[in-house]
Amino acid sequence: MRKKKIYRRVLIAFFLINLVGIVYFLMYTIDRKIPNEIKIVVDRKENFSFNMPLKANIETEDMGVISVNDTRVPSNQIDIDFNEPFSLQSSQTGQYKMSLKLFGLINIKNISLDVIETVELIPCGIPIGISVETDGILVLGNNRILGVDGLNYEPSHNRLKSGDYIISINDMKVMEKEVLISEIQNSKGKDIELGLRRNGEMIKVRVTPIMTADGDYKIGTWIRDDTQGIGTLTFMSTNGYFGALGHGITDVDTGLLMEIDKGTIYDAQIMSIVKGKEGEPGEIIGMIRQNEKNKIGSILDNTSQGIFGSVNHGYRLKDDFKPLKVGFKQDVRLGLAYIRCMVEGTMIDYEIDIERVDRSNSNHSKGLVIRITDERLLNVTGGIVQGMSGSPIIQNNKIIGAVTHVFIQDSTKGYGTFIENMVNKLE
């Protein structure tokens, strides 16, 4: 009898574990296949196929605006079966809410349905030089300093943290590290008050500079106020804006997204290319043509999805750069696609294979896994190399994404972001 009870309990426990595992797998699959946001273009029919046991309701007070499967639904609550292919179309722009229910019963997710105007972008693939100044002076870290008395000091310990931005000293605004260093020298060892921006919050701290053996006063902090690098221009919009990189500019020491005050992108000349190989990502080595003549535009925003800004009034692309329609997440397919870049000095669309599509929202910069298949590009770069981030991805004559990262162990493979994510930031 006792053995039967134990056996029954084991079976029940096994059943519950399996049930939890099935539910977890189902929820993971739903989250991976169905995004939190769906975009469609006004007056354009978009087709979807999720093949999931889900039903969705679209709530709208605009009668007859949205049609499902070519049928206008004159109701403020439209039902959609996600287990079957379906199409959506809207006669006007707007934002609508979709409530997703498992088996039509359990509400598990809300989706934003955005109906937007037609979007056309000019895919570029042009190498660019990037120069940015931080919004404040970035703190990289603290270190010990040797005082004039031969003792070690850490004046900034537990006061300044990696990722802080120094914005003032003794209530005087400061944006350049040279000015900060000069003011620390002028303190002659007296306490200074630093105004900081830490995680968006404004705080003040007091630090006592220490005289070193060479007679300088220091606070034992590594700082930076600007950075430069080589990347790729992803697109220009038809109304004078640009997007580049596909990921944000992060500080090489802290790994944090840099808060920038201003920045500029310039034409860049590729000097040489270090080919990528297993365990060692390659690199584009270039020269930034940092003058007004070669200025492409001004950076207005540094985000996790790339850098964005306005195109310089006098800058013009060559005639062979034509606008393409934007392909949203639902348009992306496994298989043949192209990346556009100019590593050989001219604009070339190189063949790639899209191996995986992840429409979830877990990591926007890694929604696509791509493999370089074009021998021309492999011969030049060995695959994806540093500096190619931002190269536009084109499929079925639509711009659908941008290259973001390379696989360290296999330079022929890398990640890409959906262009939809970049358009969201551009908006």
Percent residues over pLDDT 70 in the chain: 89
Q: What is the dihedral of CA 280, 284, 287, 290, to 10 degrees?
A: -100
pLDDT at 291 over 80: yes
- The pLDDT value recorded for residue 5 is 66
Architecture of the structural domain at 120-131+227-426: Beta Barrel (2.40)
Helix (H) or strand (E) holding 425: helix 419-426
Question: pLDDT tens, 189-203?
Answer: 899 999 999 988 999
pLDDT at 266 over 70: yes
Question: pLDDT tens, 11-39?
Answer: 776 767 766 666 666 666 666 777 788 88
Residues 299-326: b if buried by 16+ CB within 10 A, e if exposed: beebbebbbbbebbeebeeeeebeebbb
pLDDT at 94 over 90: no
* Superfamily (CATH) of domain 144-219: PDZ domain (2.30.42.10)
Architecture of the structural domain at 34-116: Sandwich (2.60)
- The full set of domain ranges for the chain reads 34-116, 120-131+227-426, 144-219
The overall average pLDDT reported for the chain is 86
**Residue 30 to residue 109: CA distance in whole angstroms:** 9
Grade residue 4 by pLDDT with cuts at 50, 70 and 90. Answer: low
Question: pLDDT tens, 331-351?
Answer: 999 999 999 999 988 999 999
Question: pLDDT tens, 113-142?
Answer: 888 888 889 999 999 999 998 899 999 989
Give the three-state DSSP class for 297: strand
**Residue 399 to residue 153: CA distance in whole angstroms:** 55
pLDDT at 384 over 80: yes
More confident residue, 369 or 7: 369
- pTM for the whole structure: 0.84
